[in-house]
Structure formats: structure tokens, C-alpha cells
Structure 1
């Protein structure tokens, strides 16, 4: 050892990249870690119901692939994905009126990877990205890691306000708008067709990339399908469309896809080559075999029927489970109900009482790109049975009562007075406002 270093403390390694140091962890993942204990009824995570997985059909598909073509299934593959799976995904788009070929599709390791690939291919540090407010939490993380400046677009109960979007695009000159227009996470709302057309027109007129995330579109319980944003005039050559098998097949296979114009798709392929070379070959071939031999539409119909009942059970019990004066929406599909507590309440404070009672949800504040609304919360209804949901609502009502009692006890006592105390008439509380 050189004499100059004798007795000196070792130098620390260089710091982590600023993009990692300054990006907040996922609030949902933090809550899921807390709520994983046995007996917890969790409305927090957007998890598919495991008892609804077609395990036998998937097992048969894997068995067939490994029996007939193990050498290919266990080998490296192309970055773009297995041709038969790309073609199967393209047929699903074609079946709903969006002309697509396998060459338009990149297979990804979950749609989450597709979001990251687009950020890598498009976003330079300092670029402006527009998002719905509130929006998908992992998208906020991904854009933060890319160094983007994230600006929220004003929204109402149906989603993006096109006039406000046009004003923002003209003023901020963003590169990209990220949107989950169908059964949005976290709000469950769906952007109407006329607004989708208006968004596409703004993007075409002012020059804007669109990133349309559609992981929930197959989970419709009422109403009619609405064409993708990518299908509207003006959006065809500027929209990257993400999708996933996680919600309708199984999240464990980690298969998603990206449909995009050729130039952007080439950029995403380059980004994926640097990220993981390609998505698991055996999983891709098993999924393609499953789509060839199983009736995915019939399976989705069974999932929809189960989730519809679970949604309705949650909605029917919220009036007694949440504090009087709370409001919530009625999503036509997806996995989430969005609620708002009355004035003076805080969802994070309520969550502490709820977890102590054995039930959990996600406070809405982390989903906001702009000023958060601390009274909001997201409740997922897909993971538990209707019986379990009813019990979770009972626990949530008990937690709300305990929370209200703690708030009353924490209030300072009113000043004493020599005047005789008069009686107070209890004014009945109104029922929650109609879902919005």
C-alpha cells in the first residue's frame, strides 16, 4: 500500500445519477408492501383476480411449445418479437377497425416497458411532456427518469379538456401527450369519442406526439367500445399505442405490445435492444399458441362478468363505508373507482386507520402532476370476491368511524361560559352526491 494512503479513510464511490436521486418511489408499491400481510383486504393494487387465470389453457400452451419447438422456445430471438405473436396482436387491432400488420407491432416485456421505450426514443432532458391530471403513477416516474418537464392538462370527470389542451400545446410546445383514455388509471373515467377526435386534431394541427396507453380496454362492463385515439383522423402518423395481456391473460407472463408509426417503432426497437435484447421467447411462443388454440374472447367474457359484479358490490357499499358527503364515479369498465372525501378530510390520514382495521386503498395525491387533492382516493375492485369486498367495506366503515372519533377528540375544547347551555338539534346528514 502506498505510504500516502496509510491511515486515510477510503473515498466513497461517486453518487447515483441525479435522475434516480430525484425520482420518488411508487406510492402504490410502498402501500402494497404494507398491505401484503395475511388477512388484509386490499383495494389498493390494480391486480387481476388470480382465480380467474386460465391456468390450464396456459399450461397446455407452454407444454405444446416446449414439446414441439423447445430449441426455438429456449433460444435468443429477434428484438421485434415472434412473428406469430406480432401477427396475432395485429389481428386484434384489425378486428376493431384499426388496420394493422405485424410489422407495425413491437412485443414488449409488459406495456410498462413500452412506455419506457417511447420515453427513451423521444424525450431529451428538459423536453415538456403533457399528462392527464391525475395520471398513471408509473408514467410520472418514467418521465421523471427521462428528465422530462411534466405539465398537467386540465381534466374533468370525462378526461382531457380539448380547449385547455390546445392552449397548453400552443404555450408550452410539448413533444408528447401521454393519455390513458379508456377506463383511466387512477380515475376509471373514459374520454368520449368527440373529445378524442378533438385531441387528435390538436396534435395534428400543432405538431405533437401522442402516447395512448390502453391496458384496460378489454374490461368493459357496460356501454359500447369507443375507437382508439390512434384511429381518429390526424392521429394515425403520430400515435404510439400501448397494450398488454396482463389484465386479460396473466400479468406473470409479462407480455405487452407497442403499435407505432415506422420511424418511431424503429427508435423503440433500438431502445429495446439496449434494454433487454428481446422479450422472453418461450413466453411469446406460448402466448401465440394460446391465442391460436384457446378462445380468448370467451375467457375475457368470463372475466368481465366476474368484475362487473365486484364493481357493483363496491359501488353499492360506498355510501355506508365512506364519510357522509363523499362522492365517487361509476366507471363503465377497468379496475378502479375514484372517490373524494368531504371537506376537512384527508385520504392519507384515513388510510392509517383503515390499515389498522385490515383494509387498504391508495390515496389519490401521488397521482397528480400538479397540485394534489388530498381528499381523493383510488379503490380497485378486481382482486377480491364480492364477499370479501363487502367485508372490506365493513372494515372501511369502522375505520372511518374510528378516524372521525379521533378527529373529534383532537379538537380543542370550546371556551367555557357562564351562560346556560342550550340544546342542539342534530341535523341529518345528506346522502352522498350522485356518482360523478
Structure 2
């Protein structure tokens, strides 16, 4: 390639990137082969090392190469490239949740199956609200959310030991918007420094990657490794710590009460915030209520609490709420207004009726029965698969974290599952480095018991024959 330095419209490093990418895709640089060094390519193209390094950084971000410290730069395997191109991860993992097929076993989706939706109740409530309110329900309504819904939420969360004013509550269009509002509220010229679990929820990770410097902390059976956490807090000025307290994605673990108390203490000691993302804390299989870490934040100074209704009611409802410290809530309301002005008043009004009439409690009781039965069936079936380890025992939710034996190629396993109409979610999307590993997340939100039995039988055959 002749690099024309006079062509200023396209940066030189992008031209280098395109040539190397094309060579990888055409197999001129075969999978697992070592690429020329930065210095060698700089000499070849008569450019400086920084230009070549920028091209390599983009190739790495797009999932074409892997850097091995002290060894060199290598082309990733084709199987890895096939399902792990970084730019497609978020969209692809969303798509699999929507797939429906009679022969498809969907262990990838965290979306509840349609047969558990309280659809008939919502149909009646929508008609009722439209009759009661008329066309005015379609007007713009307060950015912070309807007073009726926020007051209802305030009363409901008092049962969880959370005591705040309705003025501390912001209604959002889903929990993902809540995360986005937080980042916009904290926006600065420099990247915010934040801490996440390793692994952590991929939706949050992809949101944070755009404008945060992320410090991962190892996940243990009962929460973060707090020694690692304090080491980071003592050395860096952290804007916030992001975590889910109960039945977290992807591991399914819950924090111990002791670690929740210690986390609050560390946040106070190092003057940082905690973002608690709650999507399924109600789904406890032993019927023992879970303690939100927000309930330990007695003066509403430390924890930003985000609660989604997507996983426990219906994903298309797109309603969630945030509770934030008083010094932040006015900023969050302003950011919400500039983002989308307001969230649907019709949906808010219907949700308020759903909560006030006690429908959520009866619905959650039904989910508890369904999910606990599915979990028990899944665990029993997995015991018959010697190549798969269930990493953590869970006591609620709908995610489990599994690990393949080291002698099984996880990329080939994933692709072979896909060929056999089994969808899994590769563990790499939950880690900051996005690297290949032996972990997978299995969800039983969508699969019924016959599908679970069928799916694990297929997995057993696939693992045995790879």
C-alpha cells in the first residue's frame, strides 16, 4: 500500500487499519498468526510508531487482534471473531432475546416469556385509564414523573426499609436510561473513574465504556472482593461503584449482609457513590426478603438506586425509577428533560394502578413458583453433564453462571450450540477486556422445563463430541 500523506480527509492510521483488517479477513494473515511489530510496520510505511499503534488499537477494539504482553500481536481465531466482534456485542445480545422458534432453546435471553406477562390485567387497566383521563393523558406531563406514581412507589419501597420523599424519585424510560442519565449528570472534561464487578452486566459495561475509566473488581460468591475494592478506592478518586445486590447479571450471586454493610462504610470513607441496579430482587426462591443497600443509606447521601420493571412485569413497558441524593436529583431531572422531556404518562398511570391494586405482589408470587421450578430442573439436568461446572449456587432470579472444562474449546462449543439451535450468552461480553474465556451465562427466563431438559441433553452431546 502506498500511503499518500497529502490526502488529509482520511487519517493515515485508518488507512493502515483498513489494510490490515482486509488482510486478516482475506486470510493473508491467518488466524492465530503473529503480526509484524509496531516498529516493523512503522519502518515499512515510513511512519511514526504512534500512527501504527492507533491502527492496532482500533483493530483490537473491533476484535481482530489480541495483544500478548512480551510476546507480540496475534490475529484472533475465526470462531472468536464470528461471535465476538466488539461493535456488535450489545445489539446481538439484545437480538437473541427476541428470537422465537419451535426448535430453538433460548438460554441466552433474560426476557421473560410471554406466557408469564400480566397482559390481561394491563389491557383492562389501559382501557380504564383512557376512559378516566381522556385525551389529556396524551399531553406532556412532569419531567420527574407523575405525582401519583412517585407517591405509590414511595409507599411501596417503605416495605423494603427505604424511606425517602417522592421528590427524591425520578421516573425513567427503563433502567438503561437511568444509567445514561447518571453518566450525563457526572459528565466532565476528564473521564469519570468508576468501579464495576468483573464480570458485570454487559448493558451497563457498554454504556460506561464510552466515557469512563473503568476499574474492575473480582466477583466472589458473596459480592465484590473488598480488599481489591479498597485498594482502588485508596488510590483513585472514584465517581461511583456500580453493582447489583441480588441475583446479579451474569453470575446470579447475591451480596452477603456483611459485605453490604462494609460497602456502605467504604463508600462513606472514600467519599464516593454507589449505583445499585435492581432488576429482580423480588424473585427470592426461599421467600426471605432481600435487603437493598439503599435501605442502609439512611440519610440518602451515598446510594443511587435504579429499579427496573422490565424483568418482573414486561420488557416492553419501558418503565423504571431512580432514587438519588437530594443534591443530585435536580440535575438528573434537568438531564432527563434534555434527553426526552418526559416518559409516557399513559404507561405511568397504568403502572400506578397496577401497583396500588396489589397486582405486582400476586404476579411476583407466580413468577417465584415458575422460576424456582425451572431452576431446580436446570440444576438437576446439569449434574449429568461432566464438562460443565455451575460456578455459584443461587437463591433467586433467573441467571446461572457456568464454566466449561478447560479441555473444551469455548468458541467451537458456542458455534456448535448455535448450529444445533441452542442460544447461550458467551461470558466474554461481561468482562472489561472482552477476551475469550470458558464462562457462559445461562438464563431460564424464557425456557420452560421441557425445553430445559431438551436443551441440556443437546449440550451434553455437543460437549462430549467436541
Q: Give the TM-score category using the shorter length.
A: 0.7 to 0.9
**Shift in alpha-carbon separation, 1:392–1:267, aligned structure 2, 3 A:** same
Q: Which residue in the other structure is 2:209 paired with?
A: 144
Q: 2: CA distance between counterparts of 1:37 and 1:96?
A: 36
When structure 1 is superposed on structure 2, of 150-159 and 229-238 the one drifting more is 229-238
Q: Which residue matches 1:349?
A: 412
- Equivalent residue, structure 2, for 1:109: 173
Question: Does the alignment pair 1:192 with 2:256?
Answer: yes
Q: Which residue of 2 aligns with 1:384?
A: 447
The answer for the alignment partner of 1:329 in structure 2 is 392
What CA distance in whole angstroms lies between the structure 1 residues aligned with 2:254 and 2:463? Answer: 29
Q: How many Å apart are 1:391 and its aligned residue?
A: 1.0
Unaligned runs of 5+ in 2: 1-8, 15-53, 63-85
Contact 2:281 2:290 in 1 (8 A): no
1:340 alignment counterpart: 403
Give the direction of change, closer, same or farther, for the CA distance of 1:234–1:361 in structure 2 (3 Å limit): same
Shift of residue 97, structure 1, vs aligned partner: 1.3
Equivalence map 1:159-174=2 (5 Å): 159-174=223-238
The answer as to 2:88 corresponding to 1:30 is no
| Cα distance in 1 for residues equivalent to 2:298 and 2:130 | 44
**Which secondary structure does the structure 1 equivalent of 2:245 belong to?**
coil
**Residue 325 of structure 1: CA displacement?**
5.9
Q: What residue number does 1:407 align with?
A: none
Number of aligned positions between the proteins: 387
1:418 equivalent in structure 2? none
Find the aligned partners of 1:185 and 1:28 in 2 and give their Cα distance: 14
> Whole-Å Cα distance in 2 between the matches of residues 278 and 328 of structure 1?
42
Matched residue, 1:309: 373
| Alignment check: 8 A CA contact 2:223 2:253 kept | yes
Q: Which residue of 1 aligns with 2:306?
A: 242
Which residue pairs with 2:459 in the alignment? 396
Q: 1:391 to 1:257 in 2, by over 3 A?
A: same
State the alpha-carbon separation in 1 of the partners of residues 213 and 222 from structure 2: 25
> Hey, what does 2:164 align to over in structure 1?
100
Distance 1:227 1:184 in 2: 14
C-alpha separation in 1, matches of 2:388 and 2:346: 52
Q: TM-score, normalised by structure 1?
A: 0.83
Are the aligned partners of 2:387 and 2:463 in contact in 1 as well (CA < 8 Å)?
Answer: no
CA contact (8 A) 1:315 1:330 kept: no
Q: 1:127 aligns with which of 192, 196, 202?
A: 192
> Any unmatched runs of 5+ in structure 1?
1-10, 404-436
Q: Which secondary structure state, in structure 1, belongs to the residue aligned with residue 290 of structure 2?
A: coil
Structure-2 change in CA distance of 1:223 and 1:55 (3 Å): closer
For 1:306 and 1:226, how far apart are their aligned partners in 2? 19
In the superposition, relative to structure 1, how do residues 255 and 37 fare at CA in structure 2: closer, same or farther (>3 Å)?
Answer: closer
Deviations 1:176-199 (A, max 9, x none): 110111111000000101101101
Shift of 1:295: 2.5
**Deviations, residues 339-380 of structure 1 (Å, cap 9, x unaligned):** 111223343321101111111111111101257560111000
Q: TM-score, normalised by structure 2?
A: 0.78
Alignment of 1:58 with 2:122, yes or no, is yes
